[in-house]
Structure 1
Amino acid sequence: MIDYLTNLIIRICDRSEQLNNAQTISWKALREAEQLANHAYIPLLYQYIASEPDKEKRRAAIFIITQLSRNTNDPEVIRFLLDQLRMEQDTDMITAIQQDLERGLLIPGYINLEPLFNNTLSQNNNIRRSALLALRGTHNPAVEEWALSLLKRTVNEYDIYYITLLLHKVASQKSLPALKRLLDYHRQDVKSLAFATIADIEKEKEALFYARCLLRGQLKFEAMEAINKYADETAIQPVITRITELLSKRRSSARMTMETVKNGFTDLMLGMEFLFRFRSVKADVKKTFSWITEKRADYLLPEEKEWVRQHLAM
């Protein structure tokens, strides 16, 4: 059994350029490791990681044990990885362990998160930010408090982005004041995350706020997304106004960037998705769809034309 694991680790660490159908030895070994589900390998890997001096081999063994944790649903491996963070001195290894924690099982609430909390204060950028990403994998309420305390003490805009990304996963009502302040932050990605997090907390309670943002041209995509998720018919007119604005001139496929498309939807598609719910009961919605199909069909981007074909062909 240990011979197989040692061989797998060697293959993961293989850096030869020999290709087989464009797949390296290392790539194939990593895919093999992702499928492992033999719980008996776990204690063997504990021993291997504790005694192996070579960093690359330890890294490979930690990757394997993370996959085993996920495939066997064994959360105790997470405790082992957090203990490794206490002992590990190499910055690359610390970052790698935290990246594996991010991709692994949900961290149980009973496990002490102190190693990750401490690493969010590291002087090393990669350690700090991978620790913040790893903390997204737990429902422990202490994480939200920690993130809010970090937000008060840091001015590093990249750290603020990662903290906001963490809050997007763990925030509750207590984070709303901090999130609302971030709506005025100078970075668009931070504002976007803060808005989306507020919407996921407040849901339909802030439907008027989403509509006002849409009409004012503030975080328009995010506002349209929130309306599509949580608003009722009171948002119909703001959405129609925004769709009319979007189709007031031709656009090009070159504009289909991260600024205009998220998760396969443009803000126009989100608006049409929202209006589609009311197509049979609201005359102004019917009129808007008729205008789109009869007057503005050539103004639609390819993905939007496909949406119209699927939803409005009848």
Structure 2
Amino acid sequence: MNDYLTNLVTRICDRSDQLNNAPTIGWQALREAEQLANHAYIPILYQYIQTETDKEKRRAAGYIIIQLSRNTNDPEVIRFMLDRLRIEQDADMITAIQQDLERGLPIPGYMNLEPLLNNTLSLNNNVRRSALLALRGSHNPQVEGWALDLLKRTVNEYDIYYITFLLHKVATRKSLPALKRLLEHPRQDVKGLAFATIADIEKEKEAMFYARCLLRGQLKFEAMEAIYKYADESAIQAVITRITELLSKRRSSPRLSLENFKNGFTDLMLGMEFLFRFRTAKSEVKRTFSWITEKRAEYLLPEEREWIQRNLVNG
């Protein structure tokens, strides 16, 4: 292998710390690898990975080649890495390859997914779940059916989450019955993913369902997000009711948390974004915004106050 790539692999494998709390040599080398776009390195790395006996060096070379694939738009690297899954025996290496595939280009629909599909049945948790994550990058319609079959077979709540996360990316109407059953799952994150996936499939056709869920207090953030994305003016009253409920008392956290802040919005912000579309046509929307700004401004989180300032005061 050429001197530069050999040196880069060595630095990626370097776990020593530098002085003054600076990034490690390995961390800096990984960031360097992410910028590479020299296609001529790819065949060199193929040969290196096939012959190198040191697991950590193969791991580093795999990371580099996936970055090159992404930066040069070469999907054939994906085929090479899928073939490596048949050869590697070490669970950590298999997991690492699948993590690289997850970060790489989408897997073309014509490529053989058998190695990844087989690994979703592994007894090793990391192998199984990293395979499910890697499959999210596939355009092959086979994946949806496979995921639905897995869902029937497992009772492991963590696997169910990863399968649902996969379906969130690949599901079609074929998955709707299974997704609706998942709305009754005890895990909130599974229910939330299932709801969001149903909304992305059904879109405006289920607008009233999203509004009913919001009024019933079921998956409130997900219901508000679905309304924001897909509902029309028929959901106005449900959104006003939810906003009134949210601002009926001070919320305990003065700052946003993962629970009340997703994708850049709180559910209150999503509700206000939705209502903002109807601010000039609907008197009840005007009254709601007046109530928020005049009576409940101090109940808003800082990010929500910024939204008010940007859209209602300066807008």
Name the TM-score, length of structure 2 as normaliser.
0.97
Asked if 1:299 is matched to 2:299, the reply is: yes
Contact 1:252 1:301 in 2 (8 A): no
Matches within 5 A, 1:49-128: 49-128=49-128
Per-residue deviation, 1:44:
0.8
2:238 is matched with 238
Per-residue deviation, 1:237:
0.5
| Deviations 1:244-302 (CA, angstroms, capped at 9, x unpaired) | 11111111335732221112211111101000000000000001111111111111111
Per-residue deviation, 1:7:
1.1
| Deviations 1:185-219 (CA, angstroms, capped at 9, x unpaired) | 00000000000000000000000000000011100
Asked if 1:264 is matched to 2:264, the reply is: yes
Q: 1:299 to 1:18 in 2, by over 3 A?
A: closer
1:40 is matched with 40
Contact 1:253 1:302 in 2 (8 A): no
AA matched with 2:245: E
AA matched with 1:5: L
Query: Aligned with 2:136: secondary structure?
Result: helix
- Aligned equivalents of 2:289, 2:29: Cα separation in 1: 53
Contact 2:13 2:56 in 1 (8 A): yes
AA matched with 1:61: A
- Aligned equivalents of 1:310, 1:7: Cα separation in 2: 50
2:18 is matched with 18
- Aligned equivalents of 2:36, 2:258: Cα separation in 1: 36
- Aligned equivalents of 2:12, 2:299: Cα separation in 1: 51
Contact 1:150 1:163 in 2 (8 A): yes
- Aligned equivalents of 2:223, 2:46: Cα separation in 1: 48
- Aligned equivalents of 2:147, 2:235: Cα separation in 1: 33
Query: Aligned with 1:260: secondary structure?
Result: coil
Name the TM-score, length of structure 1 as normaliser.
0.98
Count of residues paired in the alignment: 314
Per-residue deviation, 1:21:
6.9
- Aligned equivalents of 2:39, 2:259: Cα separation in 1: 45
| Deviations 1:10-37 (CA, angstroms, capped at 9, x unpaired) | 1111122224771221112111111111
- Aligned equivalents of 2:261, 2:253: Cα separation in 1: 11
- Aligned equivalents of 1:222, 1:28: Cα separation in 2: 38
Contact 2:297 2:305 in 1 (8 A): yes
- Give % identity: 82
- Aligned equivalents of 1:72, 1:173: Cα separation in 2: 35
Contact 1:19 1:25 in 2 (8 A): no
Contact 1:249 1:299 in 2 (8 A): yes
Per-residue deviation, 1:49:
0.7
- Aligned equivalents of 2:27, 2:313: Cα separation in 1: 46
Query: Aligned with 1:196: secondary structure?
Result: helix
- Aligned equivalents of 2:172, 2:35: Cα separation in 1: 36
Contact 1:9 1:61 in 2 (8 A): yes
Contact 2:254 2:301 in 1 (8 A): no
- Aligned equivalents of 2:86, 2:236: Cα separation in 1: 54
- Aligned equivalents of 1:255, 1:306: Cα separation in 2: 13
Matches within 5 A, 1:73-222: 73-222=73-222
Q: 1:296 to 1:214 in 2, by over 3 A?
A: same
Give 5+ residue unaligned stretches, structure 2. Answer: none
Please provide the CA RMSD for this pair: 1.2
| Deviations 1:30-73 (CA, angstroms, capped at 9, x unpaired) | 11111111111111111111111100000001011111111111
Contact 2:227 2:274 in 1 (8 A): yes
